[in-house]
Structure 1
Amino acid sequence: MSVAPAAPAWMAIPLDGFGITMTIIYLAVCTVGLAGNILVMVAILKLDKMASATTVYIFNLALADGLFMVSLPFVAIQNFRHEWVFGELFCKLFMVLDAMNQFTSVFILTAMSVDRYMALVDPLRFAHWRTPRNAKVVSAVLWLFSLVPVLPMALHVSVYQGACTLTPPPGSDPRIWMLAFISYTFVLGFLLPFTLMSASYASLVYTMRSQRLRQRYRQVGAGTSPSLESHRLEKQVTKMVVAVVVVFGVCWIPFYTFNFYSVFANDVANFARAFEFAVLLSYAWSCANPILYACFSDTFRCYFRTLLLPAQPNVDHHSNAAVTERYNLTDADGRDGSVVMRQSRSH
């Protein structure tokens, strides 16, 4: 979702090694991201059957991320040729769908953060909320809600001076209008979700630490050893928190920084290459999510191995419900489990 004004100077990068390299990287990110997210969706549909609220959210995130990857070849071609060659109508469709998938990814990731918090803090109390059915309803509502920040694009996106970009309405101050629009998308697409995710994960880690300390005091008083499993689980969740929050922030902060800078600066052409890299980084967020699953989830590693190496023996994924519920930090019936998280982008 490109919200920065695209004057000719932004696009007028000579066809050199940088332009060719960026085009190749765009296509590589698209290929890896699309393949990875399709693999996640197939794994959930075929092996997990959407048996938990978490996998419902992950499926929708993978769907939004995969659709977001589809737009990358068009971005690559525009950057390679320094012009939009697909027409006015497709420009509007491209920008609206691109933005919708981006906002949906962020919104669903935020819902997952709240779900993780409820799963740990009071699993019994929130068990009736954290069902696959309710997760599907929440996901559907978030897909529809993502249209709210996207609707202005349908009205103000057009091909301007060879680029598919936002164009301020006639009679308005372009700088003020663009600043208002960038601020609007920044608050809805980054600031509020990032704040809520950070607060949820900070509370989650604090709760786990407090529970472990209380357990340690009870064990010391009883003359027993502290639980190594509790400590291992805390470390796993802490690593997941760092991965989710840091990757999301690293991939999106440069993009919004350049967008805000472009409103006030008169030398944006000097930063055209850096801005292009920031746009690529925002797309790379969706590409990274399947990799995060493989790194942090034993269950997803098993799923991927089953799909990619079917000749190798694997455990029966449908033998009991505990497999799918391993996504929960603490299930409603008290079982401990693995943790998996994932996230998504905008521009």
Structure 2
Amino acid sequence: MTPENTNSTVRPETSSEISFIIGTFILVMVFLLGVPGNLFIIWSILARARKRSVTTLLILNLACADGTIMCLTVFFFTYLAKQCWVFGRVMCKLLFYLCNTNMYASIMLITLMSLHRLVAVLWPHRVHALARRRNVLAILIGMWLLVFTLALPALIFREERLNKKQRLLCDHNHNSTSYVVLQFMTETSVGFLIPYGIILSSYMCILRRLRQSKFKRRVHSEKLILAIVVTFAVFWLPYHIINIVQVAAACTSEKSNLKETLDKIWQSCRPVTSALAFISSSANPVLYTFAGRSYIRADGFAFMARLFEGIASDSNGRKAEQVGREKMALGLKTSPNSTSAYVKT
């Protein structure tokens, strides 16, 4: 996630000061919640979970990406609090590059989760072929290479510069309007609109199939992934709206009053919307805790590992459900035990 353009050359003073204060407060709270939360997820999966599924592996990658960016929030709330960049040119480029990397990685991992659930529901007999270690690793490596490539504009355009108050900023240095349009529309389209189109299409197909199914199982992973998807959208949508506003401002004539209005909007709102985007990385541990609350009394600190084991068993349950359907379609009998395997949660 990227706290883009947290300072500006021209801005309404009062609204900007409030925006900086709110943004700093949000980032401090995100740091206190997100760092231990994501570290706990990583520990639960690596040290305590006995069974791991593709979804669990994707959650592990998401927690690693979120945990890394949460550890870096100390730099960003210092930047917002001081309204001055004090960490040097190299860190200016590197930190915002990692932020962009996290943004793309988060949405792509969520998209992969949704596509995996789509395959599990529509073509359960193909899940195990896709879940082979070699295939999963190839997909993840390809995804990370794409993510690191898409985040390159942060390395290219981020520079230190002085504003009118002689404060040193880590800001974009776009030489033309086309660069503004290219960067921010790429972020919004590739980092939000296209993936969400895929995600929503996947869930429409999933819900349609579940409604047609005679064996309606309550699956942990469907509800949990849906919660992750909704949470990501809620906290990232304001950021991408501001991206569009900034692009519109860049494309508007310098002499237009509309340009001045649009500039004031994105410059004053950018710190808060960027800070809100950070919340999505700290919200996932809360979602997992809520989803795994039934395990807390029995398993203590291992409750999240049991939740992920339950997710791992969902794919097996779907396979059993598919086998049951095929047997019934062929007129074969199923034993009571085999029936209960896919009727129960």
C-alpha offsets along residues 98-143 of structure 1, whole Å, 9 cap, x if unaligned?
Answer: 1112211211111111111111222122321123553333222211
Residue 255 of structure 2 corresponds to residue 249 of structure 1 = no
C-alpha offsets along residues 150-209 of structure 1, whole Å, 9 cap, x if unaligned?
Answer: 12222221112222122114xxx2x33212211112111111111111111111111111
1:200 & 1:328 partners in 2: Cα distance? 17
Indicate if the aligned counterparts of 2:122 and 2:209 stay in contact, CA closer than 8 A: yes
Most deviating of 46-55 and 114-123? 46-55
C-alpha offsets along residues 238-278 of structure 1, whole Å, 9 cap, x if unaligned?
Answer: 75565334322221111111122123142333564533221
Residue 136 of structure 2 corresponds to residue 168 of structure 1 = no
Counterpart of 2:326 in structure 1 is none
State which of 225, 233, 242 in structure 1 corresponds to 2:218: 233
Deviation at 1:88, TM superposition (A): 0.6
Q: 3-state DSSP class of the match of 1:163?
A: strand
1:240 & 1:96 partners in 2: Cα distance? 29
2:244 & 2:304 partners in 1: Cα distance? 51
Root-mean-square deviation (Å): 3.3
C-alpha offsets along residues 206-243 of structure 1, whole Å, 9 cap, x if unaligned?
Answer: 111111xxx2xxxxxxxxxxx6xx2x627x77755653
Is the alpha carbon distance of 1:331 and 1:149 closer, same or farther for their aligned partners in structure 2, counting shifts above 3 Å? same
Deviation at 1:65, TM superposition (A): 0.9
1:316 & 1:23 partners in 2: Cα distance? 33
Residue 159 of structure 2 corresponds to residue 158 of structure 1 = yes
Residue 72 of structure 2 corresponds to residue 71 of structure 1 = yes
2:6 & 2:50 partners in 1: Cα distance? 44
Deviation at 1:325, TM superposition (A): 2.0
State which of 251, 258, 261 in structure 1 corresponds to 2:245: 261
Letter of the structure 1 residue corresponding to residue 290 of structure 2? C
Deviation at 1:57, TM superposition (A): 0.7
Deviation at 1:336, TM superposition (A): 4.5
Indicate if the aligned counterparts of 2:58 and 2:113 stay in contact, CA closer than 8 A: yes
Q: 3-state DSSP class of the match of 2:245?
A: helix
1:133 & 1:91 partners in 2: Cα distance? 37
Q: 3-state DSSP class of the match of 1:160?
A: strand
Counterpart of 1:220 in structure 2 is none
Residue 274 of structure 2 corresponds to residue 279 of structure 1 = yes
Indicate if the aligned counterparts of 1:52 and 1:132 stay in contact, CA closer than 8 A: no
Unaligned runs of 5+ in 1: 216-226, 308-313, 340-347
Counterpart of 1:41 in structure 2 is 42
Identity score, percent: 23
Counterpart of 2:290 in structure 1 is 295
Given the two structures, how large is their TM-score scaled by the length of structure 1? 0.77
Unaligned runs of 5+ in 2: 163-167, 250-258, 322-340
Indicate if the aligned counterparts of 1:104 and 1:143 stay in contact, CA closer than 8 A: yes
Q: 3-state DSSP class of the match of 2:170?
A: strand
Indicate if the aligned counterparts of 1:168 and 1:177 stay in contact, CA closer than 8 A: yes
2:305 & 2:235 partners in 1: Cα distance? 37
Indicate if the aligned counterparts of 1:3 and 1:182 stay in contact, CA closer than 8 A: no
Counterpart of 1:23 in structure 2 is 24
Residue 138 of structure 2 corresponds to residue 143 of structure 1 = no
Deviation at 1:148, TM superposition (A): 1.7
Counterpart of 1:123 in structure 2 is 124
1:114 & 1:101 partners in 2: Cα distance? 20
State which of 321, 325, 345 in structure 1 corresponds to 2:312: 325
Alignment of 1:200-215 (within 5 A): 200-211=202-213, 215=214
Is the alpha carbon distance of 1:322 and 1:130 closer, same or farther for their aligned partners in structure 2, counting shifts above 3 Å? same
Most deviating of 199-208 and 18-27? 18-27
Given the two structures, how large is their TM-score scaled by the length of structure 2? 0.77
Counterpart of 1:224 in structure 2 is none
Most deviating of 259-268 and 200-209? 259-268
Residue 70 of structure 2 corresponds to residue 85 of structure 1 = no
Q: 3-state DSSP class of the match of 2:85?
A: coil
Indicate if the aligned counterparts of 1:88 and 1:159 stay in contact, CA closer than 8 A: yes
Higher percent of residues as helix:
2
Is the alpha carbon distance of 1:97 and 1:106 closer, same or farther for their aligned partners in structure 2, counting shifts above 3 Å? same
Q: 3-state DSSP class of the match of 2:218?
A: helix
Counterpart of 2:334 in structure 1 is none
